[in-house]
Structure formats: structure tokens, C-alpha cells
Homo-oligomer: A and B are copies of this chain.
Amino acid sequence: MSKLTTQRQAILDVINSSNRHWDADELTRSLSDAGKPIGIATVYRGLAALEAQGLIHSIQLADKKRYERADKEHHDHMVCTQCGHIEEFSHQTIEQLQQAAAHEKNFKLTGHQLVMFGLCSGCQQE
């Protein structure tokens, strides 16, 4: 198990302090702005380590990976293709049906990602 160093703790604190979905660059800047400069490579390594330990979660979007706190119940994401806003939702039945589908195909499920794309309520106005 890797160490929870000062830097990794700082990354974790930032992520846990909000419900945002952060990318590596945003985290680097946020920490620098807070007077805790950190190397971008350290951020990437830290994020990988924290995720491996289950302390944070990630979603893989088309261009980049985004990280969020793990201390919430499982959910999936809706991404607004206009403004980038990310809405969360969870649906227990969907999870169950996924399990069933995997079982049917003889697939040993280790993870999944459901992302829905569309326009958030705000962006539908225009």
C-alpha cells in the first residue's frame, strides 16, 4: 500500500472539500493558489495512488480523466455537452441489470461507467 504523503493528503483534501469533478491541471493550480505548489507529475501519481486505494473515484471523459470524492454512494453521470456541467444520478435497477447482463455473457465484472450526454436545464434555454 502506498503512502499518504503530505502532497497526496493535500490532493485528497481539495477533492473532498467539494462535489466538483477535478482534472489534474485544476488540482495543480488549486494547490498552487493555496500556497502549496506541487509538480504536475506528482499530481498524476497521487491521483492514481489515491484511486487505487479507493479514496477517490474517477470518470473518463473523451478528453481527460476527472476525479471526485469517494465518500458518496455510487452514482453515474450526465455531462452537459454545452457547458460541461456534470450532474449525478443513481439508479439501483440499472446496476442490477448490468450485473445480469455481464453474467449472461460470462463476463467477470470489475467496473463500469455510464455517462449520459445532453443539455442541462440551464443550457436548454438558449
Contact = CB atoms under 8 A, between A and B. Distances in A.
Contacts of A52: none
Interface in A99-119: 101-102, 104-119
Given A91-B97, A94-B94, A110 B119 contact: yes
A81 to B, nearest CB: 7
Interface of A: 60, 62, 65, 78, 80-81, 87, 89, 91, 93-94, 97-98, 101-102, 104-121, 124
Given A94-B94, A110-B81, A104 B89 contact: yes
A116 B98 CA distance: 8
A102 B118 contact: yes
Contacts of A116: 98, 101-102, 107, 109, 111-112
Q: Give the number of copies in the complex.
A: 2
A116 B104 CA distance: 13
Contacts of A118: 102, 107-111
A89 B105 contact: yes
Given A94-B98, A97-B94, A87 B113 contact: no
A77 to B, nearest CB: 10
Among A60, A78, A94, which residue has the most Cβ atoms of chain B within 10 A?
A94
